[in-house]
Chain A
Amino acid sequence: MLRTMSEHMTDGDLVRRAKAGELAAFETLAGRYERHVYSLARRIVRQEQDAEDVTQQTFLSALEHLDGFREEASFSTWLLRIATHAALKVLRKREGLPTVSLEANTEPQDGYDTVPHPEYIADWKESPEQLVGRNETARLIDEALNELDDKHRVVFLLRDVQGLSVKETADALGLTEANVKVRLLRARLQLRERLTQEFGDPARRFEPHRHEQAT
């Protein structure tokens, strides 16, 4: 009941009311963004229980630090930043060893020279707009995402799904921008490969060519 009361208000109005001590305003904000926070957490940590923990931590932290939120960024940006940090913390804890850490950028495969070539090249049968609403699509894109290594998946999520800039992604992960770029390219290519196998039209398939076309 309390939630419907403030549903027409902007995030800014709700933030101000919540800061003034109105619980209903904060609950409305939580209701507005809980699915986004939970989805981001789920896609980073890939595990339901951990995603729930991250979501709860995120909103508790937002509640506790609301007075410190200066409203320079939007509430959702601020919130998703908290969620990202909480989710990355879980990943790092899980990984344990620094050799497989997200920051490690010494792996030789991090260069452009070893970026895999596209193999299955075909026009898609349907547009993203046609595909996006289906449960089957949701399942397939999650499967493809889960096949990425943590370090590639996280870069893709922050940059392409959350819409952070290359620099913001680099800062959030403690990486160089060059590293972010090459990881993003690998992530995009791997997802493209996988999704094109699913959504590509075999009748409109092109052979990959490796000849040095100098046009």
Chain B
Amino acid sequence: MKCEELLAMLNEYVDGGVDPGVCEQFEKHLAGCNPCQVVVDNIRKTITLYKEGQPYELPVQFRERLHSALRMRWKEIHFSSKETE
């Protein structure tokens, strides 16, 4: 396996979707190729960083607006359904 071929299969390898034969070739290449090893490791860390990243906080004013819009809509729906009962 060449570095280019490894690159094309990187996703499947990182996501665990390559079949055992290919996986073996992949790992054989990695064992003898430091740059590819580091690239695979970097990719894994990159994904982890985004996955674990903290969500944004809602702007305070927006949060108030959102909840008041929800309460208003809730009342509209539940009010009108009672009227038609």
> Chain B contacts of A188 at CB under 8 A?
10-11, 14, 43, 46-47
Can you name the residue of chain B whose Cβ is closest to the Cβ of A205? B38
Question: Main SS of chain B's interface residues?
Answer: helix
Docked pose: A123 CA to B43 CA in angstroms:
11
Question: In the complex the two chains form, is B49's CB within 8 Å of A206's CB?
Answer: no
Measured CB to CB, the nearest residue on chain A to B48 is A128
Is there contact, CB below 8 Å, between B53 and A141? yes
> Does A64 touch B at the CB level, under 8 Å?
yes
The answer to whether A34 and B58 have CB atoms under 8 Å apart is yes
* A6 CB within 8 Å of chain B: no
Instruction: Let me know if A213 and B3 touch, CB within 8 A.
Output: yes
Cβ contact within 8 Å between A192 and B39: yes
Interface residues on B, range: 35 or more
Given A38-B56, A112-B8, A115-B7, are A195 and B46 neighbors across the interface (CB < 8 Å)?
A: yes
Q: Is A84 an interface residue (CB 8 A)?
A: no
- Known A-B contacts A26-B70, A60-B70, A122-B38; A209 and B59 likewise in contact (beta carbons under 8 Å): no
- Chain A minimum-CB-distance residue to B2: A212
Rounded to whole Å, the gap between the CB of B64 and the closest CB of chain A is 12
A141 contacts across to B, CB distance below 8 A: 49-50, 53
Among B29-65, those with CB < 8 Å from A are: 29, 32-35, 38-39, 41-43, 45-59, 62-63, 65
**A48 interface residue (CB < 8 Å to B):** yes
> Does A10 interact with chain B (Cβ within 8 Å)?
no
**Docked-complex contact A192 and B35, CB < 8 angstroms:** no
CB < 8 Å neighbour of A39 from B10, B55, B67, B78: B55
**Contact A184–B11 (Cβ < 8 Å):** yes
Task: A101 to B71: give the CA distance in the assembly, Å.
Answer: 36
18 A–B pairs (Cβ distance < 8 Å), ordered by A = A26-B70, A35-B55, A38-B58, A59-B70, A63-B77, A115-B8, A127-B45, A129-B52, A145-B50, A160-B51, A161-B50, A185-B7, A188-B14, A191-B50, A195-B46, A206-B35, A207-B35, A212-B3
List 14 additional A-B contacts (Cβ < 8 Å) besides A124-B45, A161-B53, A215-B33.
Answer: A38-B55, A48-B59, A56-B66, A59-B66, A115-B8, A128-B49, A128-B52, A132-B53, A160-B50, A181-B11, A188-B46, A189-B7, A189-B10, A212-B2
Binding site for A on B (CB under 8 A): 1-4, 7-8, 10-11, 14, 28-29, 32-35, 38-39, 41-43, 45-59, 62-63, 65-67, 69-71, 73-74, 77-78
Binding site for B on A (CB under 8 A): 21, 23, 26-27, 30, 34-36, 38-39, 42, 48, 52, 55-56, 59-60, 63-64, 112, 115, 117-118, 121-124, 127-129, 131-133, 137-138, 141, 145, 156, 160-161, 163, 181, 184-185, 188-189, 191-192, 195-196, 199-200, 206-215
